[in-house]
Structure 1
């Protein structure tokens, strides 16, 4: 699995230790879904202005959001189990100002919020959504599994 990080914001340093936590969470999401083919994921850290522009362009919502996911393939393509090359799974875009804001709002650490949004974005790339309550419950259970597996809780750490 290949993971690429692109830090396009200047507000907060994203240390290597944080990136290692994110990599572990991404690997666990892939493992949880039993994906056996090699995949590639891109995670970008941006300012509110950039994510607002993307949100407006692709979702017709003219406001900043916390995370956007852009899957490049359908889930069925991952379940074949055979690929002669690394499959680009998609891109996750995360607003660092939103991470900071939401960590304070929810009363937990920056690291916990950043990992959660990365995991949330990963499950979107893997074909999950939260449009209705049933889908939301399935997706939340998967997110919670990954978060508990790396011992990241909702409480500040």
Structure 2
């Protein structure tokens, strides 16, 4: 049994929002998060998942990657960058310079955040049909792919791609999501 304390928070930005079908997806994705977290040695943290449509993900892709087209998944890691030592006051406002002695300073309130994953549901549905497997497998693949990106994995060359995709398939296989 998993002992990690990873949690998944999710938002459905699609018109009409979430229903019973999406609730079932969350059980699957929480299971995948536990499996992937155990395999990668991530004991705790919060991952936020946003379900959106092609237009929503296209806008994010344009804004953050300069690519004005829809994609299937985007990841925004909170583990990377030079802002690890940012300090906030008790109202979560950024403290500039040295804080007053009396200020109630805390570490980054988002320190437990691993990052955000955004998935285009219509794109996942189309890809599942194109690849001839279940929607759940495609959604799981995209989620695990996004999670590994949050941890710093990438697929810029063949060796990185082989490593990342092998890790994804290992997690999916353990969860019973085969092609």
Q: Shift of residue 35 of structure 1?
A: 1.7
Q: Does 1:2 align with 2:2?
A: no
Distance in 2 of aligned mates of 1:2 and 1:26: 8
Structure 2: runs of 5+ lacking an equivalent: 1-5, 85-108
Deviation readout 1:43-93 (Å, 9 max, x if unpaired): 000011110000011111110000000001139x8xxxxxxx861000000
Alignment map for 1:106-117 (pairs within 5 Å): 106-117=131-142
2:170 corresponds in structure 1 to 145
Larger Rg: 2
Partner SS, residue 153 of structure 1? coil
Instruction: Give the number of the structure whose residues are more often helix, by fraction.
Output: 1
Cα RMSD of the aligned pairs, angstroms, is 2.0
Q: Which of 122, 132, 146 is 1:121 aligned to?
A: 146
Partner SS, residue 63 of structure 2? helix
Distance in 1 of aligned mates of 2:168 and 2:57: 22
Distance in 2 of aligned mates of 1:27 and 1:60: 32
Distance in 2 of aligned mates of 1:118 and 1:35: 16
1:98 corresponds in structure 2 to 123
Q: Which of 64, 68, 90 is 1:58 aligned to?
A: 64
Distance in 1 of aligned mates of 2:54 and 2:132: 21
Alignment map for 1:14-33 (pairs within 5 Å): 14-33=21-40
Q: Shift of residue 129 of structure 1?
A: 0.3
- What TM-score do you get using the length of structure 2 for normalisation? 0.76
Runs of 4+ in 1 over 6 A off after TM superposition: none
Q: Shift of residue 19 of structure 1?
A: 0.9
* Number of residue pairs matched by the alignment: 146
Q: Shift of residue 17 of structure 1?
A: 1.9
